[in-house]
Amino acid sequence: MEGNFFTTKFNSILGWARKFSLFHYPYVTACCGMEYMSAACAHFDIDRFGAGWTRFSPRQSDMLLVVGTITQKLAPVLRTVYEQMTEPKWVVAFGTCAVSGGIYNNYAVVQGIDEIIPVDIYVPGCPPRPETVLDALVKLQEKIQKQEQEWRWKRRK
């Protein structure tokens, strides 16, 4: 039963459904928030990719968009929010400060959120242009399409 026509077809349909209905939770802290607002509004729309509706609760969303600098004081909160999200979940590190600490290399800033949570897509830029954000969203959608559903009977073996 493993890897036959039905499971691959099912995977692709599931991938298609998931990638076009992403509910994102914007964890906005700093300057990149302005570019996130631009990307979400009329000129560069992320609604046309299906990721329009911002869910204001981590329990109802499947994409965590970490926007802006994460400081050491804020790190436990980010970890809590990530753990509150239900599977399947994806994390996008938006902006150089989230990717690697950015221009701040000092006592107060976490050097990249992959020190705290696992990340799927890294979007560089300070702040990234909205076109970069849309490109990253398309790449994430391709990744979701290729992801295989973890079947329970597979794991038991």
Partner 1 sequence: MGPSHPAMHGTIRIMLELDGERILNSEVEVGYLHRGFEKTCEHRTYFNLLPYTDRMNYVSPLINNLGYVMTLEKMLNIEVPEKAQYIRVIMSELSRISDHLTCLAAMAMECGAFTVFLYKMKAREFIWDVIEQTTGARMTTSYIRIGGVRADLHPDYEDVLKKAIGETKKVLKDVHGLLDKNKIFLNRTRNIAVVPPEMAINYGWTGPCLRSTGVYYDVRKAHPYLVYDQLDWEVPLGDRGDNYDRYMVRMKEMEQSMRIVEQAMQKIIKTLRPSPTMAKWLEPAEAIRISRIQKTDKKIRLSPNLEGSEKDAYPDILAKDRRYIVPPKEDTYTSIEGIINHFKFFMKEHGIRPPKGDVYFSVEGGNGELGFYIISDGTDRPYRLHVRAPCFHVVAALEEMIKGHYVADVIPTFGSMNMIGGELDR
Partner 2 sequence: MEEKKVKILEELKKTFPDKIKEASAPFGDETIVIDRDFLVILVDFLRKKPHSYTMLLDLTCIDYMDRKPRFEIVFHLFSLSNNHRLRLKVPLPDEDPWIDSLTFIWKNANWLEREVFDMFGVEFRGHPDLRRIFMYDGFIGYPLRKDYPLRKRQPRIRLRK
Task: Give the interface with partner 1 as residue ranges (CB under 8 A).
Answer: 26-31, 33-35, 37-38, 41-43, 54, 56, 68-69, 71, 73-74, 77-78, 81, 103-104, 106-109, 126-127, 129
Q: 26, exposed or middle or buried, with CB in 10 Å at 0-12, 13-18, 19+?
A: buried
Contacted by 116, from partner 2, partner 1, none: CB < 5 to 8 Å by type? partner 2
What angle (nearest 5°) sits at the alpha carbon of residue 147, between those of residues 6 and 123?
160
**Contact (CB, 8 A) for 50 and 89:** no
Give one DSSP letter per residue of 89-123, joined into a string.
Answer: -EEEEESHHHHH-TT--STTB-S-GGGTS--SEEE
CB of 83 to partner 2, least distance (A): 12
Strands across the sheet containing 63-67: 24-28, 63-67, 90-94, 121-123
Closer to partner 2 at the Cβ: 39 or 78?
78
Q: Kindly state whether residue 155 participates in binding partner 2, applying the rule CB under 8 A.
A: no
Closer to partner 2 at the Cβ: 76 or 88?
76
**E strands present in 24-101:** 24-28, 63-67, 90-94
Q: Kindly state whether residue 76 participates in binding partner 2, applying the rule CB under 8 A.
A: yes
Out of 107, 150, 153, 155, point to the residue binding partner 2 (CB under 8 A): 107
How long a stretch of residues is the chain? 157
Out of 23, 55, 114, 134, point to the residue binding partner 2 (CB under 8 A): 114
Closer to partner 2 at the Cβ: 54 or 111?
111
Q: Which residues bind partner 2 (CB under 8 A)?
A: 72-73, 75-76, 79, 105-108, 110, 114-116
